Copies of this chain bind each other. A is one copy, B any other.
Amino acid sequence: MLTPFAFQSGHARAAALCALLLVGARASAQTDPLPSWNDGPAKQAIIEFVQATTTQGSAKFVAPADRVATFDQDGTTWVEQPMYTQVVYCLERVPALAKAKPALKDVEPFKTVLSGDRAAMAKFTMPDLEKILGATLTGMTVDEFTAEVKIWLATAKHPRYKRPYTELVYQPMLEVMRLFRANGYRTYFVTGGGQDFVRVYSEEVYGIPPEQVVGTAGATQFSYDKSGKPVLTKVAKLLLNDDKAGKPEGIHLVIGRRPVAAFGNSIGDKQMLEYTQAGDGARLMMLVHHDDAVREYAYGPSSKVGTFSDALMAEAQKRGWTVISMKNDWKRIFAFE
């Protein structure tokens, strides 16, 4: 009786193992890679694209080396209202700057910023803003700048959500980035925001390392500090204005490959999406449409505010870009919800 028993025992074990494996496989197949998305054409487009471009033998297969997906940041992967986070940073840096350089206290536009008069600040001209950005984004070493941004991020809060800016990240877009990366894609930021600013938190918050951040970039200047140590100082010389036509130009400069997928939300992303689409083979172009005033903000063709214009919506329809409705496509917007 030993052999039959042993056989049965082994068979029972194998059967149990098979059952376990099958349950595992079913559970895995049932795991939704985009749980914060409602079912709909946007979610479907993303899942189908990733599947088609990474399935060996698929007509749409994309070689691993070419798997580059680019994401705008402000308004595409985190909140950009009521003001770009980096501009808030620059304004909120002014008191510390005035402490170090007291002469600034009597000079405009710094005087107005220090007064805290929001209405007056709202009337700043482009040259005013440039003075503030120049004073807060240049003149320090790269390491000093990184330290300053880290300190600010740890304490600053968004006026509406009363939370750190780094929590105002769109959970559905984090899931998209993870899905792409889990399928061999490199995810890049291609942002109008400052490259050095975004690099400070991009890895921790989005899983995007510094070398995959393409942003508006000023020059740095190599020199030696008093102790003879080499340092890079941020100087007021613009190398790349990473907006509109600057986005494909920046992509070429830093990546040197055409993306196969691109995500944006504004007229500043139009050229990036066009450039992405102009390549051969499978392509995915998507625009986040801010149409949810309750959970986030509504601005776009209907609200006539902001940068998602009627013209951009018309181009999206003409070119077959997929528009993501925050209101309808996103089950959840933030991780803290």
- Identify the 10 closest CB pairs spanning chains A and B, nearest first: A210-B256, A222-B245, A230-B274, A211-B255, A230-B275, A230-B278, A222-B248, A220-B249, A199-B256, A220-B252
- The interface centre, meaning the residue of A210, A217, A230 with most chain B CB atoms within 10 A of its CB, is A230
A211→B254 contact, CB < 8 A: yes
So how many copies of this chain end up in the complex? 2
Q: A230-B271, A249-B232 are in contact. Are A257 and B220 (CB under 8 A)?
A: no
The chain B residue sitting closest to A198, CB to CB, is B256
B-side contacts of A317, CB under 8 Å = none
B222→A142 contact, CB < 8 A: no
B252→A232 contact, CB < 8 A: yes
Q: A248–B223 Cα gap in the complex (Å)? A: 10
A221 within 8 A of B: yes
Q: A253–B249 Cα gap in the complex (Å)? A: 14
The listed residue (B217, B223, B230) touching A253 by CB distance below 8 A is B217
B-side contacts of A275, CB under 8 Å = 222, 230, 232
Beta-carbon contacts of A205-229 to B below 8 Å, as 1s and 0s? 0000111010001011111000001
B65→A253 contact, CB < 8 A: no
B257→A222 contact, CB < 8 A: no
The chain B residue sitting closest to A229, CB to CB, is B278
B-side contacts of A142, CB under 8 Å = 252
Other A-B pairs, 18, CB within 8 Å; known A65-B209, A186-B211: A142-B252, A195-B253, A210-B256, A210-B257, A211-B254, A211-B255, A219-B249, A220-B252, A220-B253, A221-B245, A221-B249, A222-B249, A223-B245, A230-B274, A232-B249, A239-B240, A239-B253, A253-B254
B-side contacts of A239, CB under 8 Å = 239-240, 253
The chain B residue sitting closest to A199, CB to CB, is B256
The chain B residue sitting closest to A276, CB to CB, is B230
B-side contacts of A240, CB under 8 Å = 239
A230→B248 contact, CB < 8 A: yes
Chain A residues 289-335 with CB under 8 Å of chain B are none
Beta-carbon contacts of A238-281 to B below 8 Å, as 1s and 0s? 01100001101100111111000000000000010011001000
* A-B contact list, 12 entries, CB within 8 Å: A65-B209, A186-B211, A195-B253, A220-B249, A221-B245, A221-B249, A222-B245, A222-B248, A230-B271, A232-B249, A232-B252, A232-B275
